[in-house]
Structure 1
Amino acid sequence: MPFASQQMQSVASQQLSKSDTIKLRNKHIGQACQLFYRSDPLKIVRGQGQYMFDEEGTRYLDCINNVAHVGHCHPEVVRAGALQMATISTNNRFLHDELVQCARTLTSKMPAPLSVCFFVNSGSEANDLALRLARNYTKRLDVITLDHAYHGHLQSVMEISPYKFNQPGGEQKPEYVHVAPCPDIYGGQFTDKLHPNADLGALYAQPIADICERQQAKGQGVAAFIAESLQSCGGQILPPAGYFQAAYNAVHRAGGLCIADEVQVGFGRVGSHYWAFETQGVVPDIVSVAKPMGNGHPVGAVVTTPEIAQAFYDTGVAYFNTYGGNPVSCAIANAVMRIIDEEGLQQNAHQLGEYLLRECSQLKQEFECIGDVRGLGLFVGIELVSDREARMPDTKAAHWVVNRMKQLHKVLVSSDGPNDNVIKLKPPMCFNHENADEFLLAFRECLTTLTQEQLQQSAAAAAAAASSAVTTNGVIATAADTLANKTKMFERQDRLIKSV
């Protein structure tokens, strides 16, 4: 691996203790910049493939890093970036081959007529520019977004991110932003439980059509509908079949454009397709990409049609981004796309995703605390509930599992969703079968222990109730005996897991 000896020397020569690092961070870094595992944060000093290592050399299996798309410090990505950095790095006002080759490769993976690129540094910038393109082309301002959506941290995209502005202390939603329901068929406005035979795609698309009709009635129309092809922060949401087709049709009838935010889920993560929007059979007018494109290097892009790009040019206002499309960023992006193809990472995501979903669905049959399992490829969500019938979210259990996975098993997962009760899996694409089994065994142990503790608490509560009340026909005693028997069963299962 390039620079391996220097890498190890750098780690060994770190002068700051973890406590000193925390002190300096608390002093000089804004407190709004939050850490993972805030009560016991990790100090990660090195990464390789699907693993990260702390200052003590402890290895953690990374199940959440969708930025290190082809693996932490992939040698080919490191080599491409270092070689180009040692050659020249300048802005895209000078001709260089890495830029045009990157644009050619990126657009070759898009459906026609998405053939024109603008290069940026991040997903936030990409979505900001996508909005500018849409508003310029339509000469309108209003935007339709989805509840719980997150599109970035710039002011323009914070305004269309309910995930942020709906939080306590969030800024008020502008009047020109319209929020449609998140197409969550498990816990959303229209569920498969309450509407078992309905066309859920049509049901969830109707509020978008209603917004468009209201805007047209006012003579205003809409500029754009923006949506993550699969919602991540919203809880690993897979829209129902036909949803985007119906939504896009409604927006286009109102003269608006459709923006697909692929910042989290693009570049083969869903396995079956290179882009997640393709799973719904639609072609957006504008696509924003970033995160996985640079494997940790800040690079992103907006891809659109020649007509939309020409309208932007016709304004006479040149678009210039100092670092967007620089040779180093483009060399790295080219390496990432090449590695995805050469190492068969999209196919790996497809095969491994099916395995994870199948095994997690089996866990759902064994553990009542799993309410739903959903996903595509290496994009999986496991929703924890306290009452499966009522689909009652269990935020406390999700937090407990996330922390236990890290502390006991050295496996890094996260939780998200409106109730922060969905365990998220978005690992590097080099994740393998052995890694999947490591996660599954650790997750099973967590669920077993969680269930055991919950049963013990219930048994204690039942025993307390029995001691203070008259037992009628032995019902309370029977309930306590049942809980005790279940507790013993899970203790046996727990010993079996630990023996493995």
Structure 2
Amino acid sequence: MSAETQTQELIARRNRLLGPAYRLFYEQPVHVVRGEGVWLYDAAGNRYLDAYNNVACVGHCHPHVIEAIARQAAVLNTHTRYLHETILDYAERLLARFPTELGNVMFTCTGSEANDLALRVARTCTGGTGVVVTRNAYHGVTGALAELSPSLGLPEPTAPHVRLVSAPQSAGDETGEIFASHIRAAFEDMAGSGIRPAALLVDTIFSSDGVFADPPGFLRPALEAAHAAGALFIADEVQPGFGRCGEGLWGFARHGIVPDMVTMGKPMGNGHPIAAMAARPELLREFGARSRYFNTFGGNPVSAAAGMAVLDVIERENLIENAGRTGTDLRERLEALRARHELVAEVRGAGLFIGVELRRGNAPAGAETAKLVNAMRGRGVLISAAGPGANVLKIRPPLVFREDHSDLLVEALDQALKEIPIG
């Protein structure tokens, strides 16, 4: 059986068994069977440069993480209603990487669960229900979070208690104040409808909105606007966290702010399902006095061991520094492409989280972006697209990405851009 026939049979079987709600990447889906470092391999043995996957943040199948998971799984796995040292050791180590004001951490299995928990805490502590998010945000797949994730394609407005604001659109001195003015207006409109504010929920690199990282510090007025409205500021670090931005462990740190709560997910366990929410202790004291939380698998010893191993690798292999150095080099190379290709309108990002916006004149080049993503897949490089116009190439490789991998990515993109007709 040919690889193409096998792929088509797998697609048909998947559709039959899993139903129509799932989606696959690429016009020709990739049948991956193995991963190692920055590489994925398909059933035919073809190698793909993974420039998109932040789940395996320290590289696919990192041996130190695998060994930690296997070692703990061979001894014990249970939940947080029993005493166990590993979750406490991990909590201490993780909290040491946060501002001191964030003194508690609660564990879940997914970023969606972490955001859902943060939302519960915010509503309990403020007495409000209203939430402000950006216009093309993605924050999770629970019922509550789907209402706060307009990028899923739900009707606008997503729910009566939700207000949408545009993501920052420039990197100028007024970016922060402009963004904050939209937030203030959203909370005022909410109050005018008799809805009490609960939270401003922000992905600190605005990944689904098209990747907006600069200027550093522009989120401070947004936090102040939320607090002035009586709302809490929740920093969603599921995508920008764990060294992705190349300056410390967290995206919010680039802005010199201390959120009320911080949510984490995908990269924490390098593919093992672990997530968490860090919070100001006074918030959890109030939440704990009125409610309780239990998650059977959140914070189990195997997950905690995986999380500890990921921090080991980030520290031992200097991956934050690598993200900063390699990301700067990659953005410079992509800027050079902008001078040669009319479609490339802007390159932006921080560390190894990069957005390349494509426009045809003043119009978002969504169709061309889709062609490029698929052309890159054909050249053995995996990326994706983001933004309300689906016209921003989203480049977000594992943190072990190096300059020689950037060479391959930029060369493939240069050649693919040459194949996209202009005019």
1:183/1:240 contact within 8 Å kept: no
Residue of structure 2 equivalent to 1:72: 60
- 1:241 Cα offset (Å): 4.7
Cα distance in 1 between the residues matched to 2:195 and 2:7: 56
Decide which of 51, 69, 74 is 1:81's aligned counterpart. Answer: 69
TM-score, normalising length: structure 2: 0.95
Residue of structure 2 equivalent to 1:320: 294
Cα distance in 1 between the residues matched to 2:194 and 2:215: 31
Cα distance in 2 between the residues matched to 1:201 and 1:236: 15
2:134/2:165 contact within 8 Å kept: yes
Amino acid of the residue matched to residue 396 of structure 1?
A
Cα distance in 1 between the residues matched to 2:184 and 2:214: 16
- 1:216 Cα offset (Å): 5.2
Cα distance in 2 between the residues matched to 1:254 and 1:172: 21
1:184/1:239 contact within 8 Å kept: no
Residue of structure 1 equivalent to 2:169: 184
- 1:184 Cα offset (Å): 2.1
Evaluate the alpha carbon distance shift between residue 325 and residue 352 of structure 1 in structure 2; reply closer, same or farther with a 3 A threshold: same
For residues 174-253 of structure 1, what are the structure 2 equivalents within 5 Å?
A: 174-185=159-170, 199-215=174-190, 221-238=196-213, 240-253=215-228
2:238/2:266 contact within 8 Å kept: yes
Amino acid of the residue matched to residue 168 of structure 2?
P
For residues 83-482 of structure 1, what are the structure 2 equivalents within 5 Å?
A: 83-164=71-152, 167=153, 170=155, 173-185=158-170, 199-215=174-190, 221-238=196-213, 240-315=215-290, 317-387=291-361, 390=362, 392-407=363-378, 409-450=379-420, 453-454=421-422
1:50/1:61 contact within 8 Å kept: yes
Higher relative contact order (CA 8 A, sep 6+): 2
Cα distance in 1 between the residues matched to 2:19 and 2:103: 40
**SS of alignment partner, residue 22 of structure 2:** coil
**SS of alignment partner, residue 360 of structure 1:** helix
What is the percentage of aligned positions where both structures have the same residue?
39
- 1:199 Cα offset (Å): 1.4
Deviations 1:361-402 (A, max 9, x none): 111112111001001000001111111xx2x21112111111
Bigger shift: residues 65-74 or 396-405: 396-405
Cα distance in 1 between the residues matched to 2:382 and 2:316: 27
1:395/1:420 contact within 8 Å kept: yes
1:36 aligns with 2:25: yes
Deviations 1:389-447 (A, max 9, x none): x2x2111211111111111x211111121111111110000111110001111111112
Unaligned runs of 5+ in 1: 1-13, 186-191, 459-500
Evaluate the alpha carbon distance shift between residue 219 and residue 423 of structure 1 in structure 2; reply closer, same or farther with a 3 A threshold: closer
Cα distance in 2 between the residues matched to 1:41 and 1:448: 23
Evaluate the alpha carbon distance shift between residue 215 and residue 17 of structure 1 in structure 2; reply closer, same or farther with a 3 A threshold: closer
Amino acid of the residue matched to residue 414 of structure 2?
R
Cα distance in 1 between the residues matched to 2:384 and 2:188: 39
- 1:340 Cα offset (Å): 0.3
Residue of structure 2 equivalent to 1:21: 10
2:161/2:190 contact within 8 Å kept: no
- Give the aligned CA root-mean-square deviation in angstroms: 1.8
1:232/1:264 contact within 8 Å kept: yes
Cα distance in 2 between the residues matched to 1:233 and 1:180: 13
Amino acid of the residue matched to residue 375 of structure 2?
R
Cα distance in 1 between the residues matched to 2:284 and 2:112: 19
Residue of structure 2 equivalent to 1:462: none
**SS of alignment partner, residue 314 of structure 1:** helix
2:163/2:190 contact within 8 Å kept: no
Cα distance in 2 between the residues matched to 1:21 and 1:219: 51
Q: How many residues align?
A: 420
Evaluate the alpha carbon distance shift between residue 266 and residue 136 of structure 1 in structure 2; reply closer, same or farther with a 3 A threshold: same
Evaluate the alpha carbon distance shift between residue 307 and residue 43 of structure 1 in structure 2; reply closer, same or farther with a 3 A threshold: same
**SS of alignment partner, residue 197 of structure 2:** coil
Deviations 1:25-46 (A, max 9, x none): 1210121101011x32111000
Evaluate the alpha carbon distance shift between residue 436 and residue 309 of structure 1 in structure 2; reply closer, same or farther with a 3 A threshold: same
Cα distance in 2 between the residues matched to 1:28 and 1:215: 43
TM-score, normalising length: structure 1: 0.81
Evaluate the alpha carbon distance shift between residue 398 and residue 325 of structure 1 in structure 2; reply closer, same or farther with a 3 A threshold: same
Cα distance in 2 between the residues matched to 1:374 and 1:208: 23
Cα distance in 2 between the residues matched to 1:216 and 1:396: 40
- 1:348 Cα offset (Å): 0.2
Report which of the two structures shows the higher radius of gyration computed on alpha carbons.
1
Cα distance in 1 between the residues matched to 2:386 and 2:193: 37
Cα distance in 1 between the residues matched to 2:223 and 2:175: 15
- 1:343 Cα offset (Å): 0.5
1:414/1:425 contact within 8 Å kept: yes
1:184/1:238 contact within 8 Å kept: no
Cα distance in 1 between the residues matched to 2:307 and 2:187: 37
Amino acid of the residue matched to residue 386 of structure 1?
R
- 1:171 Cα offset (Å): 7.6
